[in-house]
Amino acid sequence: MEQKGFNMSQIKITPTQLNGTVAIPPSKSMAHRAIICAALAKGKSRIDHIEYSQDILATISAMQALGAQIETYEDYLFIDGTSTGCQQECQIDCKESGSTLRFMVPVSLIHENHVRFIGEGNLGKRPLNVFYDIFDEQGISYQYQNEILDLTIQGHLKAGEFKVPGNVSSQFISGLLFALPLLEGDSKIIITSKLESIGYIDLTLQMLETFGIVITHDHYQEFHIAGRQSYHAHDYYVEADYSQAAFYLVAGALGNSVALKGLNLDSLQGDKEAIDILKRMGAVLTQTGDLIKVEAKGLKATTIDGSQCPDVIPVLALAACLAEGTTKIEHAERLRIKECDRLAAVASELTKLGAKITETTDGLIIEGVCQLQGGQVSAWADHRIAMTLAIASTCAQTEMIIDNKECVKKSYPSFWQDFEQLGGMTSEC
């Protein structure tokens, strides 16, 4: 995949150390799940601690398209799912949210429906064969276009046995887990290969339980879903996001003095593994009240398995660039079908800054260097690449210019504000 070209929305960063406290934004993964569960419940729920990223807005509008009544306020939602699923024709715009798409396809087919899915960016390039196989087996009609998201589906899901490979996005499985309890009969999901991103499945199961849905499994290889269940309205507070916290955890490990507020150290989020990986590299975590800091006096290379925590791999790769020795990132091939090819993007842009990175089929080999340079780099229109480069600027010797600064709105709209509040020196260019 070719990198995106530079555009006018560039931001210049003057290297400086970050110092201060940052409140970590709410978990996008948990917010998606809470909104869906509340919108499937016959009653009213309040969801607190919401940040209106583009992905979350996509899921809100998707559930509204399916009939849910959702009122938005500054940082919370009121959701009434009483009328969800009453329509038999709708259009769902997923924007660039893979979570919204993969969650919504099964959810939209709980009842007979004629639904069109559209989206933006690279979303149409992300494979949906798992669902197409199910449609073929169940006689659900569908039409799609190559390379762009324009998918039309007619029909409804039927209870039964669903075979899903474990080495694809866990979002396919989560989508089915949301939908199958509402069908008339019992269902079973059989995982046909090693399951990746188990942490995300745990988040789904936890949220389902919160809203009254019971699902059992045999060591994550078979999921048993009783039909004719009901979601129960429930008020919910969204915990802080480890995939966003990872940027500041790495910043601390690289010599910045950042205290993170709001993290739940008992969280089931798979991206919490970033802490364990940084500890293996020599970082130390301290907790004072509700504040967490990561510090290090030099980092050591390690081997990183990207299969269970793909979203934090770009910024962990940055940490590896400045660690002593050679770090290997493995089992991260799914990063090639995100908003961009994140393995290629990380290798390309950090190399421009003086890193020594070699791409492999499923990961990266990173030889640590003593320092990074500045220069002009591209975010590849990908929010996690942009934020990784911003953290890299704190270790650079000269100014850095990053294109497409607005792409952070996909997951973390207030990122640049938080970065500046911590002392990051930015300017338009």
Report the alpha-carbon distance of residue 428 to residue 8 in Å, rounded.
10
Does the active-site annotation cover 235?
A: no
Give every strand in the sheet of 303-305, ordered side by side.
303-305, 326-330, 364-367, 356-359
Instruction: Assess contact for 179 and 157: CB atoms under 8 A.
Output: yes
**Residue entry with tokens 């507070």:** 237
Q: How far apart are CA 217 and CA 415, in angstroms?
A: 38
| DSSP-derived 3-state class of residue 145 | coil
Q: Distance between CA 33 and CA 178 in Å, rounded?
A: 9
User: What token pair was written down for 53?
Assistant: 């990223």
- The arrangement of strands across the sheet holding 89-93 comes to 89-93, 113-118, 150-155, 141-143
Tokens matching residue 263: 């993290």
Give the CA distances from residue 232 to residues 37, 362, 427, in Å, rounded to whole numbers and listed in that order. 8, 41, 48
**DSSP H or E run through 385:** helix 383-393
Residue 421, helix vs strand vs coil: helix
Tell me the residue type at 43: G
β partners of residue 402: 11, 377
- Identify the helix (H) or strand (E) that includes residue 367: strand 364-367
Q: Cβ(284)–Cβ(253) under 8 Å?
A: no
Distance CA 166, CA 197 (A): 9
Catalytic residue, from 311, 341, 382, 403: name it.
311
By residue count, the chain amounts to: 429
**Strand order across the beta sheet in which 161-164 lies:** 161-164, 187-191, 222-225, 215-218
Alpha-carbon dihedral sign for residues 319, 306, 219, 59: positive
What are the residue numbers of the active site?
A: 311
